[in-house]
């Protein structure tokens, strides 16, 4: 079996797996940022300018430092950086947003020695005899693991996702350390209690790091979508799957976000399939893959199948929660805030102490977000400024410091899923009959 050496232009860097090593990594990141801020402040003062903390923090030098350090550390630290780059990307200066966008692409791959060590630990020392071929050069490297291609001794083409060493053990400390860094930098106001949200984030990442759980979620989705040949999902290779290594049939195709120049009808069909899947997930399955990363979707241009990957962030939603969202949807379509308000309160978007103007702002965003569902026929995401309007409304509400509020993780994850669909639809300039799709899904539910 040919063994590929590391061919990543020297980019391979061992994943720091010890708790103290990772803490030191974040500590050195904070020190470096502070040094850049002091230098920048000194330059401003020398030029007779009064330095502003926000301007000193959000510099290309600091963004480079953050992206490089988190890409090296991987794990929960990188995951937090990915969330920041996706949620705040449009709000940051373009050059800084572009730097942080690196975190949504590939992480720094781990070297061959760590790959071998992980596979020895999970498959046993003689694992190479199970393969005709195994490539040690990863085809993708993300926050929790990296993917390799191989061919089994039985001739099956497989994709092997290998978790970085120490990731599962470092989740809690990584999140605590990154949260402390954000507090110290002023990115999170000191008045905000993020404790419950951080606890939920830890739980979610522990679930994502359990590859046996992801394998079970993938099997559930394969069964649920078996009736629709438009979707293609990999099959789990049980004999080569553990809690830290997930082996599946290899799925090729092209990244969905690369299809910006594809014919309009093809782009429309792809995004329509994604929205149709979401409505089935929400109203029929009550099981939602909540990760909005575009890399989770690929497209087979020969067969026209939409390929679905990565089910680590799969969540079950209760009947009660979906019923509340149905009520909000009904009210938003009718522009009736009296219908929406009780369900919004039940989902903890606000409570009895929330001022009326803040309640109205939240309900107004629901109405705004449902614009595609009020459109008769295809909604043109390519010409719509809906994303910008929602962003501006969210920023205006966020500036009200007496309305810093954090709903439950399942609520936030659902928002991110929907936002990801809207962003991808806008990226591909797709035209989708969202109202028709949602109507069919709700009829199936009832």
d(CA 46, CA 28): 27
- Which of 80, 104, 128 lies at the terminal end of a domain, its last residue? 104
Percent of the chain residues past pLDDT 90, beyond the cut:
46
State the pLDDT confidence band at 42, using cuts at 50, 70 and 90.
very low
Tally of residues, the chain: 446
Is 179 contained in some domain?
no
* Confidence (pLDDT) at 183: 63
- What total number of domains does the chain contain? 2
**DSSP H/E element including 241:** none
d(CA 441, CA 272): 13
3-state secondary structure of 382: coil
Domain that holds residue 83: 19-104
φ/ψ of residue 371, rounded to 5: -55, -45
- Which of 104, 137, 155 lies at the terminal end of a domain, its last residue? 104
Mean pLDDT, residues 103-117: 73
Mean pLDDT, residues 276-291: 95
| pLDDT tens digit sequence for 209-222 | 999 999 999 999 99
φ/ψ of residue 380, rounded to 5: -90, 100
* Confidence (pLDDT) at 405: 58
- What's the whole-number average pLDDT of the chain? 77
pLDDT at 29 over 50: no
d(CA 387, CA 390): 5
Is 373 contained in some domain?
yes
| pLDDT tens digit sequence for 55-67 | 434 455 554 555 5
Is 433 contained in some domain?
yes
Q: With beta carbons less than 8 A apart as the criterion, state whether 71 and 108 touch.
A: yes
- Which of 51, 79, 104 lies at the terminal end of a domain, its last residue? 104
Is 173 contained in some domain?
no
Of 175, 187, 413, 407, nearest to 289 by C-alpha is 413
Is 277 contained in some domain?
yes
Q: State both tokens at 142.
A: 């993300």
Of 204-208, 263-267, 344-348, 387-391, the range with the lowest mean pLDDT is: 387-391
| pLDDT tens digit sequence for 249-270 | 999 999 998 999 999 999 999 9
State the pLDDT confidence band at 331, using cuts at 50, 70 and 90.
very high
Is 310 contained in some domain?
yes
Q: Which residue has the higher pLDDT, 303 or 13?
A: 303
- Residue the block writes with tokens 């789990």: 236
* Confidence (pLDDT) at 252: 92
Of 389, 371, 387, 391, nearest to 379 by C-alpha is 371
State the pLDDT confidence band at 33, using cuts at 50, 70 and 90.
very low
- Which residues carry out catalysis? 291
Is 183 contained in some domain?
no
Mean pLDDT, residues 348-361: 84
């Amino acid at each position: 079996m040919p063994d590929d050496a590391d061919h990543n232009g020297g980019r391979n860097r061992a994943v720091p797996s010890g708790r103290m090593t990772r803490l030191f990594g974040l500590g050195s990141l904070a020190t470096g940022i502070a040094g850049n801020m002091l230098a920048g402040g000194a330059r401003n003062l020398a030029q007779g300018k009064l330095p502003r903390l926000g301007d000193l923090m959000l510099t290309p030098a600091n963004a480079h430092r953050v992206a490089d350090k988190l890409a090296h550390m991987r794990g929960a630290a990188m995951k937090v950086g990915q969330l920041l780059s996706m949620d705040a990307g449009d709000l940051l200066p373009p050059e800084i947003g572009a730097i942080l966008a690196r975190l949504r692409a590939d992480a720094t791959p781990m070297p061959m020695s760590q790959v071998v060590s992980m596979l020895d630990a999970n498959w046993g020392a003689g694992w190479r005899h199970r393969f005709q071929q195994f490539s040690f050069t990863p085809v993708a490297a993300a926050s929790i693991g990296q993917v390799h291609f191989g061919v089994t001794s039985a001739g099956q083409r497989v994709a092997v996702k290998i978790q970085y060493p120490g990731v599962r053990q470092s989740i809690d400390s990584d999140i605590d350390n990154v949260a402390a860094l954000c507090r110290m930098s002023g990115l999170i106001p000191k008045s905000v209690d993020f404790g419950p949200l951080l606890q939920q984030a830890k739980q979610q990442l522990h679930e994502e790091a359990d590859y046996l759980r992801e394998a079970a979620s993938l099997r559930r989705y394969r069964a649920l979508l078996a009736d629709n040949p438009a979707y293609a999902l990999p099959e789990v290779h049980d004999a080569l799957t553990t809690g830290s290594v997930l082996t599946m049939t290899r799925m090729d195709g092209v990244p969905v976000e690369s299809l910006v120049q594809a014919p309009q009808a093809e782009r429309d069909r792809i995004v329509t399939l994604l929205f149709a899947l979401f409505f089935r997930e929400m109203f029929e399955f009550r099981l939602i893959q909540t990760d909005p990363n575009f890399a989770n979707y690929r497209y087979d241009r020969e067969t026209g199948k939409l390929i679905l990957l990565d089910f680590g962030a799969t969540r079950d939603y209760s009947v009660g929660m979906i019923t509340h969202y149905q009520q909000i949807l009904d009210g938003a379509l009718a522009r009736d805030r009296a219908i929406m308000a009780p369900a919004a309160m039940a989902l903890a978007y606000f409570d009895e102490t929330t001022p009326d103007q803040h309640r109205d702002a939240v309900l107004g965003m629901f109405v705004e977000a449902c614009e595609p569902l009020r459109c008769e026929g295809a909604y043109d995401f390519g010409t719509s400024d809906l994303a910008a309007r929602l962003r501006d409304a969210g920023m205006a509400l966020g500036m009200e410091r007496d309305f810093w509020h954090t709903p439950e993780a399942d609520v936030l994850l659902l928002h991110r899923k929907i936002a990801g669909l809207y962003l991808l639809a806008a990226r591909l300039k797709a035209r989708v009959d969202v109202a028709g799709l949602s109507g069919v899904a709700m009829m199936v539910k009832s």
